[in-house]
Amino acid sequence: MLHVLSGLTMIVAVLAWRGGAALWPAVLALVVFALTFVQAYLGSNGPIAVHVPGAMVLTVGAVVVAAWSFTGGSAHARR
């Protein structure tokens, strides 16, 4: 489910960018989407010492993109 939701978030952020919003949320959403696959691999095959900080990075990235979308960031003109 995480891959699906982060992928949809990335698509919406890219569409918002194409509609005139800033580029950085689309890039961050792409990074979060890509890191979900790394995180899934590390959760099954990697050390927990890497998996837990990775979860924190994903959480922060997702919260930043969500905060941007809820503060009307998608309506702002490109800078």
**Confidence at residue 48, expressed as pLDDT on a 0 to 100 scale:** 85
For residue 76, pLDDT over 90 is answered with: no
The answer, as to whether pTM is greater than 0.85, is: no
Q: Which residue did the predictor score with more confidence, 75 or 19?
A: 19
Q: Which residue did the predictor score with more confidence, 77 or 20?
A: 20
For residue 79, pLDDT over 90 is answered with: no
Tokens, residue 43: 């959760």
**Confidence at residue 18, expressed as pLDDT on a 0 to 100 scale:** 94
Going from the C-alpha of 23 to that of each of 1, 9, 33, 47, 48, the distances in angstroms are 25, 14, 16, 33, 33
Going from the C-alpha of 15 to that of each of 9, 22, 26, 28, 60, the distances in angstroms are 10, 11, 8, 14, 22
